[in-house]
Amino acid sequence: MTALEQMLAVNQDFVQNVSEDFTLAAETVSKVPRKKLAILTCMDTRLVEFLEPALGIKREDAVVIKNAGNTVTSSFEATIRSLLIAIFELGIQEIMVIGHEDCGVAHSTAQEIIRKMCRRGISYDAIKMIKDELETWLDNFHHPHENVCQVVEKIKNNPLIPMDVPIHGLIFEPHTGQISTLVNGYQELTDSSLLQSLIRGGEPKRDRGLGLVNKKGGEKSMKLISLKAVVDRDKCIGCSICSKICPSLAIAITEKKANVKESDCRGCGGCEQRCPVYAIKMVKLAEPYTVSVDISDIPYDQIASLCVKAKLNPEQIICYCTTTRAEEVAGAILKGARTPEELSRDTGIRMGCKVECIQPILRLLKAADIVPERPKGYQWYGLTPTIWDIPENVKAKYNERGFYFEEDIKLLDKVANAKPEGRKS
């Protein structure tokens, strides 16, 4: 009997005698995890039917993601995708990265795997495609404890993971079932609520690993650029995806190859993540530099009035990935920036997810009577309506259905006009 036949026979027997605990619950059973928890752990066989009971995790309690060595390799790989579904579709509110002692991945090397692949007839051309990534992954996995801490950091610094999700790092003993804490995710979260940071801003809670660190230098907010995009021309197939997503329009396609204008690249890594043939690598700059717009020489009431016209508080963070505030973008506009791309180059804004901040940017430009021309490709689409644009008849219709348009407008106007403590004007 083959393994498959054996399993199907067991299944037939199982279905005939399945416990009522499973079948009676079938109608009420939910894919939404009751404990609002996602676990990332290793695929090791010793963890099967041992890790969950050791944690008191039952069916429906948690999302469990498994891979070799509970690893995360890049910003949008399969594990991160699963976590995004878990957070945004299934409502999970905490992540636990659980490694285990004696993890086999710590003993694997890229060279050994490649040797075994060659022996099994895998073509070297295929191996060449993944060789660099394989080495980066396996040859940097030295110890399961160190790996857990690194994976926690990677998830924490991923611009797609909300900042209010605690990420814990734990280690499991596969012989005794003992769990030990390496990283307590609660301690990593700062006390300030998202609402506080919405108005007051402040130090970013996490360096998002984008080559951008928002440093406050007195009144000046600066982003440190420490990476640049480098194209491997042999691999590039000239598809132009990178040039379409680059927020600072630093990439041009000439002779069917991507060319990065280094002085315009702000090191976001977006092109590296999207290139379908992995032709772009982010490389550390020999001399990192900062970008910022000095707003100290602009009368603050001009900045404030532009922000308030755009229904934004000047001190409001409008780009969470880079913690750029409305006042800096308004200052850049008052100093002559005319497009989102110029604003990205001047202030470093839009160097993370590239999704949330485009609307406030367009609102600020509109408040200054600027309607920028959309660049070719898909960097951004136009302005979307805000609550202030909803027609009276639509409001009247939906008021009865539990919407609070007027109350929301009042609150948002209050946010825009609030003068945080210590502001002079």
Which chain residues interact with ligand SF4 by CB under 6 A? 229, 231, 236-242, 246-248, 250-251, 253, 258, 260, 265-271, 275, 277, 279-280
**Binding-site partner at residue 268 among Zn ion, ligand SF4, none, CB < 5 to 8 Å by type:** ligand SF4
Q: For the window 3-42, what string marks contact with Zn ion as x by the rule CB under 5 A?
A: ---------------------------------------x
**Binding-site partner at residue 332 among ligand SF4, Zn ion, none, CB < 5 to 8 Å by type:** none
Beta carbon nearer to ligand SF4, 250 or 307:
250
Beta carbon nearer to Zn ion, 42 or 332:
42
Q: For the window 103-132, what string marks contact with Zn ion as x by the rule CB under 5 A?
A: x-----------------------------
**Binding-site partner at residue 44 among ligand SF4, Zn ion, none, CB < 5 to 8 Å by type:** Zn ion
Beta carbon nearer to ligand SF4, 185 or 269:
269
The nearest distance, CB 150 to ligand SF4, in angstroms, is 22
Distance CA 15, CA 341 (A): 59
Beta carbon nearer to Zn ion, 100 or 206:
100
Distance CA 152, CA 95 (A): 9
The nearest distance, CB 375 to ligand SF4, in angstroms, is 12
Q: How many residues bind Zn ion (CB under 5 A)?
A: 3
Q: DSSP for 202-216, please give it.
A: -S-SS--SSS--EEE
**Binding-site partner at residue 258 among Zn ion, ligand SF4, none, CB < 5 to 8 Å by type:** ligand SF4
Which residues, 6+ apart, have CB-to-CB distance to 33 below 8 Å? 60, 61, 62, 63, 86, 90, 91, 92
Beta carbon nearer to ligand SF4, 316 or 344:
344
The nearest distance, CB 66 to ligand SF4, in angstroms, is 31
Distance CA 339, CA 285 (A): 26
Distance CA 379, CA 339 (A): 12
Question: Is 44 among the residues that bind Zn ion (CB under 5 A)?
Answer: yes
**106 phi, psi to nearest 5 deg:** -65, -25
Question: Is 47 among the residues that bind Zn ion (CB under 5 A)?
Answer: no
The nearest distance, CB 284 to ligand SF4, in angstroms, is 13
Q: Are 255 and 248 in contact (CB under 8 A)?
A: no
The nearest distance, CB 177 to Zn ion, in angstroms, is 15
Nearest to 258 by CA among 274, 76, 136, 131: 274
The nearest distance, CB 395 to ligand SF4, in angstroms, is 40
Q: Are 72 and 41 in contact (CB under 8 A)?
A: no
Residue 213 tokens read as: 């660190």
Distance CA 181, CA 377 (A): 47
**Binding-site partner at residue 251 among ligand SF4, Zn ion, none, CB < 5 to 8 Å by type:** ligand SF4
The nearest distance, CB 352 to ligand SF4, in angstroms, is 10
Beta carbon nearer to ligand SF4, 114 or 265:
265
185 Cα distance to chain centroid: 17
Instruction: Pick out residues in 60-99 that bind Zn ion (CB under 5 A).
Output: none
Q: DSSP for 83-120, please give it.
A: HHHHHHTT---EEEEEEETT-GGGG--HHHHHHHHHHT
**280 phi, psi to nearest 5 deg:** -115, 135
The nearest distance, CB 231 to ligand SF4, in angstroms, is 5
The nearest distance, CB 225 to ligand SF4, in angstroms, is 9
Which residues is 289 bridged to in the sheet?
225
Distance CA 327, CA 181 (A): 41
Q: Which amino acid is at 348?
A: G
Distance CA 55, CA 52 (A): 5
Q: Site residues (CB under 5 A) for Zn ion?
A: 42, 44, 103
